[in-house]
Amino acid sequence: MFKKTLVFSLAVVWLLVGVCTIASAAQNVGNASQKGSVLIFPKIDTTNIESQGIARDTIIQLSNDYSRGVMVKCYWVNHDQSIQDFMFLVTITQPVWFRASDGLGTGSYWGDPAASNEMTVPPFFGADDNGSVGELKCWAVDFEGANQISFNHLSGTATVLDYKQLTAYQYNSFNFTARGVALNTKVGTGGDIVLSGANLQYDACPQYVVFNFFSLSPGLLGNNDGIDGTIAIDGGGQVIKFNKTDLTLVPCKQDLRQDRVPTCTKAKFDIWNENETKYTGAYQCIKCWFEGYLDQFGITDKYGFGGEKFTWYGLHTAMGRFRVSGVNSTICNGFNSLCKSQVTSPFLGITSTQVQFLPPSGPSELVAATGAGAGTGEVSHILWDVGQVAPEIPGR
C-alpha cells in the first residue's frame, strides 16, 4: 500500500512543466497559466468506499483579482453527466474555497466555529453514499444568471485529497478568456458558451493535448522473465521509481441543460518513445468524462485498446510522450446505451503519477501535470440553462 503525502518539490516541478508548456500554445487557446472568464476543473473526486480503504475529497479554490465583484455560475458534472448547478457572488479581490463532499468552504473549518462568511454550495454527487468522480465548470454571469459575461479576472486550483492513503495533489484550472468583449458585458447568446478563439467569443480548446510519461515497470505487471524495466532515478542520496500514471480527460463539447445529449467520442492516442519510434492504434471510448490508468486501456475496459503500448515492454524506453485528440469513430458506436452517435471533440486533461521512494518500504507520493495544448480545435459549445429575469410592471 502506498503511503503518499503532499509533495511540493516534485509536484511543483511537474505542474510547472505542464503550465509552462501549455502556455506556449496559440494565444487564443485556453490554458492553465492565465486568468479567464470560464474555468474548467477536469478532476473532482469524492469517492468514499470504506470496504476498499478509499476516502477522497477535493478542495476547490477560486480567486477574483479585480476591484469589482462578480457572480459565478458553476456546474458539478459527474462521470455519467449528471449535473448539479449553483451560483454565488465573489466580492472585490476575494479568494474563496469549498469542499466538494459537503459544499462547505470559506470561514467554515475546524478550530474556528465562530468563523463568518461561509461558502455554502451544493455538495458534489454521492455525499450520502459512495461518493463520485467528475468535473467542475464555472463562468462569470450577470446578476440574474441569464447571460455569461466577460470577466477575465478569475483563476482557480483543485486539490485532490486521499485521507486513507495520506496523499494529495493539486492542479490549476483551465481558463478561457472572453476575447474583444468589454468587462461585465454579455458574451454571445445566453446559455451557449462558444469556445472558438474568435473575437466576441471565448478562447478555443486545443486541437490536441500532449503529456510525457514514464513507462510502467514489468514488476507491476507480474512478469518474471529477468528483464528489469523498473524506471528508477537516483539523486540526492535517494532512489525514486515512477509507477502508474492516471489520466483524466474531459470533452470540451458539453450539454449541461436538463434536456441534454451526452457527449460521446473516441480518444485517439499517438505515442512516441525516446528513440522517436511512433506507436498508433491505442484508443478509449468515452462518454462525457474519463479516468483510467494508461496501461489499462483495453484490459479493465473492453471499449479501449493499446494499454501495453504505455508499458516498458511495449515502449522499450523509460520515457514516452503521447498526443490525444477526440474523434468521431464508428468503433465506439453503441459502447454505451446512451451513446447513439459519436462526435469530434477537443479534450482537456491532467495526469497524476505514483512516485515511490526506494527501498519498497519508503514513502510514496502522487504528482500531477496538466496537458500541453497545441493548435485550435474544432469549435466547441458548452450549453446551459439560463436564469429568468424577474418581470417589472411598466410604470413603476
User: Tens digit of pLDDT for each residue in 78-119?
Assistant: 988 889 999 999 999 999 999 999 888 866 555 555 555 578
Q: What is the arithmetic mean of pLDDT over 244-252?
A: 94
- CB within 8 A of 359, min separation 6: which ones? none
Decide if pLDDT at 225 tops 50.
no
* Three-state DSSP class for residue 211: strand
- The neighbouring-strand residues paired with 354 are 366
Name the pLDDT band for 228 (thresholds 50, 70, 90).
very low
Per-residue pLDDT at 167? 85
User: Higher pLDDT residue, 340 or 149?
Assistant: 149
- Range with lowest mean pLDDT among 33-37, 184-188, 203-207, 213-217: 213-217
Query: How many Cβ atoms from other residues are within 10 Å of residue 258's Cβ?
Result: 9
Whether 294 contacts 287, CB under 8 Å: no
pLDDT at 39 over 90: yes
- pLDDT at residue 44 tops 80: yes
pLDDT for 114 = 54
User: Which pLDDT value is given to residue 355?
Assistant: 83
Residue 3 has pLDDT above 90, yes or no: no
Over residues 254-312, the pLDDT tens digits come to: 999 998 889 999 999 999 999 999 999 999 999 999 999 999 998 876 789 999 999 88
pLDDT tens profile 310-325: 988 899 988 999 999 9
- Residue holding cell 535517494? 238
Higher pLDDT, 372 or 66: 66
Write the CB contacts of 229 (distance below 8 Å, at least 6 apart in sequence): 215, 217, 218, 219, 311, 312, 313
Among 38-52, 99-113, 134-148, 291-305, the range with the most confident prediction by mean pLDDT is: 134-148
- State the pLDDT at residue 287: 92
Lowest-pLDDT choice from 13-27, 145-159, 213-227, 357-371 = 13-27
Beta-carbon neighbour count of residue 112 at 10 Å? 9
CA distance linking residue 270 with residue 386, whole number of Å? 39
Q: How confident is the model at residue 370 (pLDDT cuts 50, 70, 90)?
A: confident
In the chain, the percentage of residues whose pLDDT exceeds 70 is 82
Task: Summarize the confidence of residues 339-352 as an average pLDDT.
Answer: 91
What's the chain's average pLDDT?
84
Query: How many Å apart are CA 239 and CA 284, to the nearest integer?
Result: 33
In this prediction, residues 326-350 reach a mean pLDDT of 89
Domain range annotation of the chain: 4-192, 209-381
CATH code of the region 4-192: 2.60.290.11
How far apart, in whole angstroms, are the C-alpha atoms of residue 231 and residue 358? Answer: 12
Assess contact for 150 and 185: CB atoms under 8 A. Answer: yes
For the ranges 34-43, 217-226, 242-251, the maximum mean pLDDT occurs at 34-43
Residue position matching grid coordinates 461561509 = 118
- Integer Cα distance of 288 and 135 in angstroms: 10
Binned at pLDDT 50, 70 and 90, residue 52 comes out as confident
Percent of the chain topping pLDDT 90: 55
> What 3-state class would DSSP assign to 367?
strand
- Give the Cα separation of 179 and 320 in Å (integer): 35
